[in-house]
Structure 1
Amino acid sequence: MDNEWTLVEHLSELRRRVVYSLILVVLFFILSLVFVHQIFSVLEAPLGHVKLAVLGPGDVIQIYFMIAGFGSLGMSLPFILYQLWKFIQPALSPKESRAAMTMLPFAFLMFLGGVAFSYFVVFPIVLHFLLQLSFENFIVVMTAHRYFSFLVNLTLPFGLIFEMPIALLFLTRIHVVTPRMLSKMRKYAYFAIIVFASLISPPELVSHLSVATPMMALYEISIMLCRLQARRMAKNINISNSSSVVSKNIQGI
């Protein structure tokens, strides 16, 4: 009976956190719709003089809703992460809970950094390369739906990819992974990165390299950060053990 009540409590708590998150997402969705023309101008800037086309009146509403939807999710992300942490907090030890809470702001900043890196660096390179190929033999008519779908499919994964150092630091802090383990898994990680980059980028070499290279660099940065974290943890343990020994010697005197 207690187990059933515990399950019901968890489901009730999950529903409460989801409702809170949905309310904020809806509010930001409305706010994004109010400023959708300004957001649209920013997102189409990489196109330069290329104009977007729509295939019917209904496409305009669909595009505006797509822009507002992703804008609201981006603005709601810190609150959603906080609600997620509050939901899983009872299952964490005090040490794990403190570690997760400490890293939440950095997780949000890394997500923004990944999206910004993709939008300002990777996306223009891939877009201009593909447009140059198209201009050689074709008249380019780019629909707004295709353009924004391409933009989202290339930028959003980078936001998630940039969470890699934060996730691995957290796992190192709670002793789930070690820097040695990550180093041994390097070739498998590189293979997974290449496969993932091939799936989310256009089917040509420049796009694959533009996506895979930053991911590999992030993996190496994650290993270095985890090594620093492991050394600091070992140093704290040594200091704690030394303090304990000194305390016992003083008590013995």
Structure 2
Amino acid sequence: MPKENEQHIQEKEMNMVGHLSELRNRLIFIAVWFILFFVLGFIYVKDIYQFFVLNLDFKLASTSPGDIIWIYFTMSGLVGLVATIPVLALQIWLFVKPALTDKERRASVAYIPALFILFIAGLVFGYLVFTKLIFPFLLDLNDGMFHIIFTVDNYFHFLFRVTIPFAILFEIPVISMFLTKIGILTPAFMKKTRKYAYFVLVIVGAAVTPPDFVLQVVVAIPLILLYEISIILSGVVYRKKLKLHEQFMQQ
């Protein structure tokens, strides 16, 4: 084998090892960041818990000591997750930064705060849907027929089953813009698959709401609007990308 080829292979192997080492270091940093805020959430878990049960006119029950541990770990994990979202996005951006042009770096860095803001917005929206629509609806269905015991485990499982999917789905606009920016997604493809996306969003809306048609429609409509907004934003990014490509070709 010629020496040039051997040297080229060695350089590729060194670059691969360097990338893997950098990726490992960034993953360690993310894990340490998550653990720090997990511990912080663990310290203030009582205050966080009081925030979630502030508007409840009843006290949640516990059927076993394990529920207490579950609440501590769940609340702490939620704090760690929310705090880690922007750091995770920043570390991903720093990892791919060398492969981006100066314009792409300036444009893509704006996605980091947007990811965090939309994640929080999704959590808030899901929380309001749960506390203002779903939970009151279920209580009205009871209408005094049963004496309901609300356990900590069941209540928060139900709450997070509603809020977490919304937090993730609210990231669709930013993700669609980023994927369009790097050439993986196009607005034409999003329009072509619109009916399938609607179907998935309706299924998600039905999964997080009680079996009531009105509630399912109320939840599905914002998700469908979110997808349409994603198409519009993807189109904006795509047109800018085409314009930049035309200017580059003319030079």
Task: Report the TM-score range of the alignment, normalised by the length of the smaller protein.
Answer: 0.7 to 0.9
1:222 Cα deviation from its structure 2 partner: 1.3
* From 174, 177, 181, the counterpart of 2:185: 177
Equivalent in 100, 119, 122 of residue 93 of structure 1: 100
**Maintained 8 Å contact 1:123/1:155:** no
Equivalent of 1:158, from 151, 166, 170?
A: 166
Using the TM superposition, give the Cα deviation of residue 155 of structure 1 relative to its aligned residue in structure 2, in angstroms.
Answer: 0.8
1:180-236 Cα distance to aligned partner (Å, 9 max, x none): 322222111111212233334444434432432211010111122223333444455
Amino acid at match of 2:47: Q
Residue identity (%): 36
Cα offset for 1:49?
0.6
Choose the corresponding residue for 1:196, options 201, 204, 218: 204
**Matched letter for residue 30 of structure 1:** V
Deviation at 1:44, TM superposition (A): 1.6
- Quote the Cα distance in structure 1 between the aligned partners of 2:205 and 2:19: 37
Contact 1:122 1:211 in 2 (8 A): no
Q: Does residue 211 of structure 1 match 2:204?
A: no
Q: Equivalent of 1:64, from 48, 69, 72? A: 72
CA RMSD of aligned residues (A): 2.5
Equivalent AA in structure 1 for residue 124 of structure 2 = A
Compute the displacement of 1:125 (Å): 0.8
Tell me if structure 2 keeps the 8 A contact 1:122–1:210.
no
Change (3 A) 1:59 1:38: same
The answer to whether the aligner puts 1:39 opposite 2:22 as a matched pair is no
Contact 1:123 1:154 in 2 (8 A): no
Correspondence for 1:23: 32
- Code of the residue aligned with 1:151 in structure 2: it is L
Aligned to 1:251: none
Q: Which amino acid aligns with 2:166?
A: F
Structure 2 unaligned runs (5+)?
Answer: 1-8
**How many residues align structurally?**
241
- The residue number in structure 2 matching 1:105 is 113
Question: Which residue, out of 195, 201, 207, partners 1:187?
Answer: 195
Query: In 2, distance between residues paired with 1:174 and 1:21?
Result: 24
1:133-173 Cα shifts (integer Å, max 9, x gaps): 23443211111111111111211111111111111112222
Q: 1:162 to 1:239 in 2, by over 3 A?
A: same
The aligned residue for residue 17 of structure 2 is: 8
